[in-house]
Chain A
Amino acid sequence: MDCSDNIERLQQRLYRERKARQQAEKLLEDKSRELFYTNQELRQLAESLEEKVIQRTQELVIARDTALKADRAKTNFLATMSHEIRTPMNGIIGMATLLKGSQLFPEQARQVDTILNTSLSLLSLINDILDLSRLNADRLELIHEEFDLCQHISAILETLDGIASQKNLELVSVVHSDVPATLIGDSARLRQILTNLIGNALKFTKQGYTALRIKRSNQPDMLRFEIEDTGCGIPADRISDLFKTFSQIRPEDQHNHGGTGLGLAISQKLVNLMHGKIGVYSELDKGTTFWFELPLVLKTDQPATQNPALKACPTTSCIILTDSPLQGRLLLEQLQHLHLKAVEIAFDLQGVEKLLQHQTYDWLLSLPQSCEDPQPNQCSQLHELGSRFRNRINHIAHITNQAIYCPCPVGLENFKLHALNYQALHKPVTPLKLWQLFHHEGVQAKPPCHVEHVAFKPQTRLNILVVEDNKVNQLVANGLLARLGHQVTIQENGQKALELLAENRNFDLILMDVQMPVMGGVEATMNIRQLYPDWPIPILALTANVLREDQEHYLQSGMNACLLKPIQLPELEKAIQRWSTKSLEVPALAAPQNAPPLIA
């Protein structure tokens, strides 16, 4: 019984084991099939995803190529527009300049002046439009270089003072003493912004002043520039449109005041590019203040040093003599930042005399309004008072617009008589000039000179090779260089220039156009540098191309600098002076980081 029971149990177990195994096999089959189908689905999904990736990549490539094409089109447009416009402008301005230097009847001279001035205005407009195009296309690059702020401001105000003095407006700059001496940034673009804003201020002001104030902002590490005028003001409903292109306050402004309406738009874009802010506040018939703030960038390896022009003068005392409360107030504001020992204002000579009776002063700053009557003459009386009180007043300085000494009939005699103590300060008054006056005792008065009739002094006569295909530009270059007294040889393309140089290299300088048939300027320059590695002749590019990367390409090819068309006589003269007297190494074809700077 037990045995058969055991056998039966064993049979049952065997049956269960076999059944379990069969189940397991079936499960395995089912799982394998399931795995196979899942794998297939995954493979199909992977293929579909791959196709999608390929498709998306193709779409991205097309989009990228379209964007690159559009970008290239923008660049080409800018380069072409620049070149196509500047080339004929070079002809117009160059020929007008040459004509001006020739013998002309007064009426003809007036007409030539008109052509020249109008051409320069047109050039200014073209530059504005090109700048705006570059800004809109994100193709404008800023330069980062060190510059002295006070010197830069002084130079900017000098160029604008002509407009101010024509309209009898005061133009001053006030720089707070905590503004650093040296900044890092694009000084040329800063000049552009300030010229736009100050130019506008002078344009829309009939009387009073325009003041440029520079100080640290309330925002950390920002510098604030304010341009305040006492002009007609801006209606509140026009302020929001102010920075748009071609915006004018009133339609008649375009005719009455000139200007294209691009200046503010460009200024705003430049400030934004510099990561700054710009704004305005205004009151009708009272005046307007444009302001902008820029990040303060200093040299990291040196602490910010105070500008010497802004250092305090705690031992200096002075009297301001003026019959204009406005002039007195503005000069007082400037002097306050120098922390003088004492500053007093007197509105007439009696006032000066009263002050001198109580204490001594180092300086008497005289702002003569008019000295038309010879007798009694305030200027003479002033110097007579100065002689009487010679122990109480050390120096007298006239602050004047036009001539360097007092603009009165006896001014020259006064100068000769009192030359030792007689100083002069040319408007516009800037912190730099005040510093020069107090520390170096200013500029000794000298007879006026008529700037417009200064002839360009001939320098050493140089042999200059001009490589230029355009006939008009050849005439312009020839004429301008001959005016400067140089010997000129012209070749019409790079190939002809190389052929000439193979026979004769008796040249001191080469002016090389860039775009020429047969052989262009870049190729010609590279050939010259390769063929004559020991001949460091300066080669200056003549280009209408404003794009920085193209100009850098010219330098990399072996050119020393770029002259931007249309070429003007002063810039040409400066360039020749600079490059012909330099002892040079031949520029390497692969430009190092410190390639020679560009000149405009």
Chain B
Amino acid sequence: MVESQYSANMVDDIIEASNLASEGAYTCVGSYHHGELVTLIYNLSVLSGESIPHILNQYGAYIFHELFRIDPQFFGSRKTPFDLLESFHIYVEVELMKLYPNERMPTFHTQRLSDNKMIFTYRSPHSFVAVIEGLLNSCFEYYKTPATIILHDRSPRSGSYADFEITLQ
């Protein structure tokens, strides 16, 4: 994301600034300490001048589009934004767990209140509510379906627990 949204040099700079145990050598099948991501995001904020919430929103939007690249068949078959949101937990529980069986994954729960209203619940050991916000906004943009999203953040001291009250317009 950083390379495409900012530049390759920015990648070098935030890695250099973060003093990472992994030295920034990442592979998509590996597992790394969450703290490294937090440090990288912080340094990106410092070097780019963007706020951390903004970067996290960007990250969420990037993740959304990556889903269609990684598994176009699974996500491409969802016809509406609600269908897609309801498929997240399947993807996490089935696909991600195959690759990262020892990792603590976020959980997603959906509750359709009517044809145009849904509660989307996100829980995670990490504090990435803003990433989900960005992901949700991208989702409704993609399906060209305007929606109002009200966040009910019930996060405890560590980790995330948020209900997104979504109303399609």
A residues bordering B, Cβ < 8 Å? 9, 12-13, 15-21, 23-24, 27-28
A9 and B24 within 8 A (CB): no
The residue that A27 contacts in the complex, of B8, B12, B24, B27, with Cβ under 8 A, is B27
* B25 contacts chain A at the CB level, 8 A cutoff: yes
Contact A19-B29, Cβ < 8 Å, known A9-B9, A9-B12, A13-B12: no
Contact A23-B23, Cβ < 8 Å, known A9-B12, A16-B15: no
Q: In whole angstroms, what is the CA distance A148 to B8 when docked?
A: 103
Main SS of chain B's interface residues?
A: loop
Chain A to chain B contacts (Cβ below 8 Å), 24 pairs: A9-B12, A12-B12, A12-B15, A12-B16, A13-B8, A13-B12, A15-B23, A15-B25, A16-B15, A16-B25, A16-B26, A17-B25, A18-B25, A19-B23, A20-B25, A20-B26, A20-B27, A21-B27, A23-B25, A24-B27, A24-B29, A27-B27, A27-B29, A28-B29
Residue numbers in A under 8 Å from B26 (CB-CB):
16, 20
Q: In whole angstroms, what is the CA distance A155 to B26 when docked?
A: 101
Residue numbers in B under 8 Å from A12 (CB-CB):
12, 15-16
B25 and A19 within 8 A (CB): yes
Q: In whole angstroms, what is the CA distance A18 to B30 when docked?
A: 14
In chain B, residues 1-21, which have Cβ atoms closer than 8 Å to a Cβ of chain A? Answer: 8-9, 12, 15-16
Q: In whole angstroms, what is the CA distance A510 to B79 when docked?
A: 87
Q: In whole angstroms, what is the CA distance A19 to B8 when docked?
A: 18
Q: Which bracket fits the contact residues of B?
A: 10 to 19
Residue numbers in A under 8 Å from B8 (CB-CB):
9, 13
Residue numbers in B under 8 Å from A21 (CB-CB):
27
A24 and B23 within 8 A (CB): no
B30 and A16 within 8 A (CB): no
The smallest C-beta distance from A520 to any residue of chain B, in angstroms, reads 71
Q: In whole angstroms, what is the CA distance A16 to B14 when docked?
A: 13
The smallest C-beta distance from A3 to any residue of chain B, in angstroms, reads 14
Q: In whole angstroms, what is the CA distance A303 to B56 when docked?
A: 83
Q: In whole angstroms, what is the CA distance A51 to B27 when docked?
A: 44
Chain A's closest residue to B15 (CB) is A16
The residue that A24 contacts in the complex, of B9, B16, B24, B30, with Cβ under 8 A, is B30
Give 4 closest A-B pairs by Cβ, nearest first: A19-B25, A24-B27, A20-B25, A16-B25
The residue that A23 contacts in the complex, of B12, B15, B16, B27, with Cβ under 8 A, is B27
B30 and A27 within 8 A (CB): yes
Report B128-164 CB contacts with A as 1/0, cut-off 8 Å. 0000000000000000000000000000000000000
Q: In whole angstroms, what is the CA distance A20 to B15 when docked?
A: 14
9 further interface pairs, Cβ-Cβ under 8 Å (given A16-B26, A20-B27): A9-B8, A12-B15, A15-B23, A20-B25, A20-B26, A23-B27, A23-B30, A24-B30, A27-B30
